[in-house]
């Protein structure tokens, strides 16, 4: 195996993760990862056996099933109804902010955080504009709340799923360890955004009692929503019981696809196939690097104990999640052969997720929120987000650090 070539491919692929593309080419992160995997296979660095052993098919199946579950809720109109109801409420602007944080964080803990933000942002923006409220702080709060809330559970985001699969983590013990820091992060989102955006929250606001320009929210389709709620309960049961998660999650997805009203094409069109392909390609790239022996030598040189330290995880998460992205970061950390224990995996899950609130590029949910708001005529700059994201992230990191030291000792 040509180790130099393997390292070169790895560096180029992860450079694309940081830059978002390869300069001069219309190739995004997924495309770069796929090209990297193809090159490794083409030159013989990764044979069929290595490719198949590198890809975590169980995690991909579970993530696919969760995407189908989120699609069920989206197709029912549930997310839009939530956003419309929030914007139409007769509450004060500060109370609306509280509701946005609570709803966004709660939904993201059970459903995919990216889908929650994607579906709710445009509807929320239109409703807030109709009330003559500045949507910016609410959109930023929604994105950060979705990130923070998703840190509470194994199924809240893709990186937690990866970590859960690697460490065979259990559902309720994970919540016991990570739920409190996630909840505190939600409180910090509300306090910081409310405190630093006080003028924006109240500028040109319509009377709280009028709900000016808003209409009664359209209720979600009851049958589709009930089916989604039943499936969500089934998912929690699957993660609670000692069963093969991938097999039963696939069964849940299959039941959701059996419908007389929602076509298979519509449901599957809401599955993020690009993300699934990105995962698979990164598995191949990092798996090939590990098989070449380069990863083991790097770990030996740096020291396994140093790399396993919580401080290392915190720093790596803060820098890595806001450069190459939290999912690529976690895949690298898990492929490094560090023999991580449960405590280290909890720390990796918490820090890699909470670090996504630092900058707008820290998580896909942030990018989606900003882009969806921009399509509605609301521009949220890098500085707009960072002004709120930096204090939220640093404060939530400090609490998570202290909490883990107390709980996991």
Domain ranges of the chain: 3-407
What is the Cα–Cα distance from 322 to 286, expressed in whole angstroms? 19
3-state class (DSSP) for residue 185: helix
Chain-centroid distance, C-alpha 11: 24
Query: Which of 6-10, 18-22, 140-144 is predicted with the least confidence, judged by mean pLDDT?
Result: 18-22
List, for residues 155-211, the tens digit of each pLDDT value.
999 999 999 999 999 999 999 999 999 999 999 999 999 999 988 887 654 444 444
Return contacts of 314-320, CB within 8 angstroms, 24+ apart: 314/347, 314/351, 314/397, 314/401, 316/351, 317/348, 317/351, 317/352, 317/354, 317/355, 318/351, 318/355, 318/358, 318/393, 318/397, 320/352, 320/355
Residue 293, C-beta contacts closer than 8 angstroms, at least 6 positions apart: 3
Place of tokens 């964080």: 105
Of 364, 313, 355, 361, the C-alpha closest to 334 is 313
The string of DSSP letters for 302-323 reads: H-HHHHHSHHHHHHHHHHHHTT
* Best CA proximity match to 354, nearest among 344, 341, 365: 365
> Measured between alpha carbons, how far is 158 from 272 in angstroms, rounded to an integer?
12
Tokens, residue 81: 């109804």
Q: Is 28 helix (H, G, I), strand (E, B) or coil?
A: strand
How many of the other CB atoms lie within 10 Å of CB of 249? 25
The reported pTM is 0.88
Measured in whole angstroms, the distance separating CA 257 from the mean position of its chain's CA atoms is: 24
Question: pLDDT per residue over 248-279, tens digit each?
Answer: 999 999 999 999 888 999 999 999 999 899 99
Of the chain, the percentage scoring pLDDT greater than 90 comes to 67
Question: Which residues are paired to 28 by β-bridges?
Answer: 21
pLDDT at 213 over 80: no
**Over the stretch 287-338, which tens digit does the pLDDT of each residue have?**
999 898 888 888 888 777 888 887 888 888 899 889 888 889 899 889 888 8
Output the pLDDT for position 302. Answer: 75
């Amino acid at each position: 195996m040509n180790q130099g070539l393997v390292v070169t491919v790895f560096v180029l692929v992860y450079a694309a993760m940081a830059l978002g593309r390869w300069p001069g080419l219309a190739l995004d992160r997924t495309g770069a990862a796929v090209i990297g995997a193809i090159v490794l296979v083409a030159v013989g660095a990764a044979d069929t056996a290595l490719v198949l052993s590198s890809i975590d098919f169980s995690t991909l199946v579970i993530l696919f099933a969760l995407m189908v579950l989120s699609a069920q809720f989206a197709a029912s109109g549930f997310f839009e109804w939530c956003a419309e109801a929030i914007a139409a409420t007769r509450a004060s602007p500060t109370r609306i902010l509280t509701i946005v944080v609570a709803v966004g964080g709660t939904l993201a803990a059970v459903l995919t955080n990216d889908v929650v933000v994607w579906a709710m942002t445009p509807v929320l923006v239109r409703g807030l504009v109709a009330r003559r409220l500045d949507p910016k702080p609410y959109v930023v709060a929604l994105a950060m709340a979705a990130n923070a809330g998703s840190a509470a559970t194994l199924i809240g985001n893709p990186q937690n799923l990866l970590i859960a699969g690697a460490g065979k983590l259990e559902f309720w013990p994970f919540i016991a360890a990570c739920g409190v820091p996630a909840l505190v992060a939600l409180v910090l989102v509300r306090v910081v955004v409310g405190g630093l955006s006080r003028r924006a929250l109240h500028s040109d606001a319509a009377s709280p009692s009028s709900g000016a320009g808003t209409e009664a929210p359209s209720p979600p389709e009851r049958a589709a929503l009930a089916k989604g709620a039943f499936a969500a309960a089934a998912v929690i049961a699957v993660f609670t019981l000692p069963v093969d998660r991938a097999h039963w999650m696939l069964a849940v997805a299959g039941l959701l696809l059996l419908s007389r009203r929602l076509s298979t094409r519509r449901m599957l069109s809401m599955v993020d196939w690009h993300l699934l392909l990105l995962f698979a390609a990164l598995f191949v790239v990092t798996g090939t690097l590990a098989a070449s022996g380069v990863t083991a030598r790097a770990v030996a040189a740096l020291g396994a104990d140093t790399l396993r330290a919580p401080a290392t995880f915190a720093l790596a998460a803060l820098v890595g999640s806001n450069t190459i992205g939290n999912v690529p970061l976690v895949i690298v950390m898990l492929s490094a052969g560090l023999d991580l224990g449960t405590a280290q995996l909890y720390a990796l899950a918490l820090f890699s997720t909470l670090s996504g609130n630092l900058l707008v590029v820290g998580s896909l949910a942030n990018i989606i929120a900003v882009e969806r708001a921009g399509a509605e005529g609301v521009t949220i700059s890098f500085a707009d987000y960072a002004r709120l994201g930096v204090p939220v992230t640093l404060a939530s990191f400090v609490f998570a650090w202290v909490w883990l030291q107390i709980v996991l000792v």
